A and B are shown apart, each in its own frame.
Chain A
Amino acid sequence: MGELRLMKGNEALAEAAIRAGTDGYFGYPITPQSEVIEYLMAEKPHERTGMVVLQAESEVASINMLYGGGGTGKKVMTSSSSPGISLMQEGLSYMAGAEIPCIVANIVRGGPGLGDIQPAQSDYFQSVKGGGHGDYRLPVLAPASVQEMSDFVPVAYDLAFKYRTPVLIVSDGLIGQMMEKVELFDQMPRLTDKEINEKYPWGTNGKPAGQERRVLTSLDLDPHKLEKHNFKLQDKYRTIEANEVQYELIDCDDADYIIVAYGSSARISQKAIQLAREEGIKVGILRPITLWPFPKKAIDELVIKGVKGFLSVEMSAGQMVEDVKLTVRERTKVEHFGRYGGVIHSPEEVLEALKSKIIGG
């Protein structure tokens, strides 16, 4: 068993960054995720593993530091919250185009605009549909516990380097701020420069003697060449959709109704289905762990099995529900329930919505 600690979600993410062998963290403070960089600065990871931690002048700079560092084959990471993540969309688009790996954690807060500092899930569209300009997608992992804030860091790095893409960890202010028991994984060694050059020959860290130089760019002024590059990116996204879907089914075997919920909403919905079952209502939860790729096949199988309705429970005005509807294609009922703007729904409200919108509706 790994080391047990009581930690905030943000701290678990920071500790996991060190243990996953991150080479560089570049970030800018924003509530409710500032504990990430505070923890890293206090922890002196340079002394523990040689990891670089730098407070940038803005989120725009942070994401471009990831572009530079990730582009050399190093493991790089940042974290922020919604308004800061909006500022990073430019960089994420460029990194998708130039195929540069990195991790970006979004501890989502209420919006739009400056919004507030309370938890929300209203950045779903931005996360799963691309976010910045151009045709691209990013793998999105959605932790539902402090444990997963730690566990998903190495998972995200594996995806980022396997597919040469930025990977998002989309959490929210609730999971970032709450404390839970977490079992930390053991320290993984940082790769040596030699190992990086062997594993990632595309890394621009000084052209090897006698070999061609490496160039990382998202630019190609020839539209036919750029289309070809886009074909390659789209092939990559289809491969990710085929191979990297992750989800959890909770009490779905005998369920008449399904709540689709991720992150904090999935945790709250667990209490709601317990209350429902006490009343004899058979309801289960499908929890997407990857928001993109979305677990379409799992939803499709539930439709075929004869589920009578899906309730998409999100701390948003209804974003993921569109993907549920796209998958269900009007074969059965799909509704949305959620509080938003930083308000968290109670399990009782979820149960009430299930009754009024799905069962009675």
Chain B
Amino acid sequence: MSDIAIKDIIKPENLVYEKTDLMTDKTLSYCPGCGHGTAHRLMMEVVGDLGQENETVGVAPVGCSVLAYEFMNVDMQEAAHGRAPAVATAIKRLWPNKLVFTYQGDGDLAAIGTAETIHACNRGEQIVIVFINNGIYGMTGGQMAPTTLPQMKTSTSPYGRDVATMGNPLKITELVAQLPGTYYVTRHSVHTPAAARKAKRAIKKAFQNQLDGKPGLSFIEIVSNCNSGWKMEPVQSNIWMEENMFPYYKLGDIKVDGKLL
């Protein structure tokens, strides 16, 4: 392709996509193929679309997305493992007009932070929780998560998750949906353009709920892949996710406007 042809292509009228300023220029620390980067971007696009960049406080977890605050270009706090809902509770109670969210993985939200998650939901804190469920501990090198599927092999379940001794995968999203304090509970994925667009609409609805002062917490689970932890090629991991994760963690709305579907 000649230089002239490139110049002809790079014109403002041809722009179809632009990175939001609310993502920093720092190179993502995630493995190629991982869904975290997409989830970050969707959230920051929503914050920008809603004009809330100066009114937003995010809380990052411990896990692969421990460095989320390096990529999300809004005010951020880094919480201890599992404690983000407690941290976000106080921020929102003390600054009720701010948009407050947590971003948490499965170990953070559904294992060590179960109490903080359940009670923030139960109190109906007006925050948004974005929960990334990839069924494994990525950061520490692929150990079993509360959401690891039965018979799934991880470094701490090397012969597969034996549900008789290791428990069953925890559907914490269905669990929090039962609490009167949650207003919107939904499950999505970001592994295809169509899925990402749907997830973005859900994120927007959740943040809009908070801005509108809707009574309760908005909770979005994103079922995601962990190609490194699952020891698969990225494309293969997405197929595996569709075939194995989605039947157990069914995508779609679970509770809308405070009503269970």
| A contact set with B: CB distance below 8 Å | 23-24, 26, 52, 54, 56-58, 60-62, 64-69, 71-72, 74, 76, 90-91, 94, 98, 193, 204-209, 213-219
Contacts and interface: CB of A to CB of B under 8 A. Distances in A.
Given A52-B93, A54-B93, A57-B119, A65 B78 contact: no
B83 A213 contact: no
B69 interface: yes
Bin the interface of chain B by size: 20 to 34
B91 A72 contact: yes
B242 interface: no
B98 interface: yes
24 contacts: A24-B94, A64-B86, A64-B90, A65-B86, A67-B77, A67-B86, A67-B87, A68-B77, A69-B91, A69-B94, A71-B87, A76-B94, A91-B80, A204-B91, A205-B95, A205-B98, A213-B74, A213-B76, A214-B75, A214-B76, A215-B77, A216-B76, A217-B69, A219-B67
A306 to B, nearest CB: 50
Contacts of A217: 60, 69, 76-78
Interface in B18-43: none
B94 A74 contact: yes
Given A72-B57, A207-B54, A219-B66, A24 B93 contact: yes
Which 4 A-B pairs have CB atoms at the shortest separation, nearest pair first? A217-B78, A68-B87, A69-B90, A68-B90
B83 A61 contact: yes
A68 B54 contact: no
Contact of A206 (B56, B59, B83): B56
A90 B87 CA distance: 13
A89 to B, nearest CB: 11
B257 interface: no
A26 B66 CA distance: 25
Interface in B79-133: 79-80, 83, 86-91, 93-95, 98, 115-116, 118-119
Interface in B155-170: none
A214 to B, nearest CB: 5
Residue with the highest number of chain B CB atoms closer than 10 Å, among A64, A205, A219: A64
A209 B53 CA distance: 8
B78 A219 contact: yes
A61 B86 contact: yes
B75 A58 contact: no
B55 interface: yes
B73 interface: yes
A57 B69 contact: no
Given A204-B77, A213-B74, A213-B75, A91 B54 contact: no
Contacts of B95: 72, 193, 205-206
Contacts of A56: 86, 119
A61 B119 contact: yes
Contacts of A204: 57, 75-77, 91
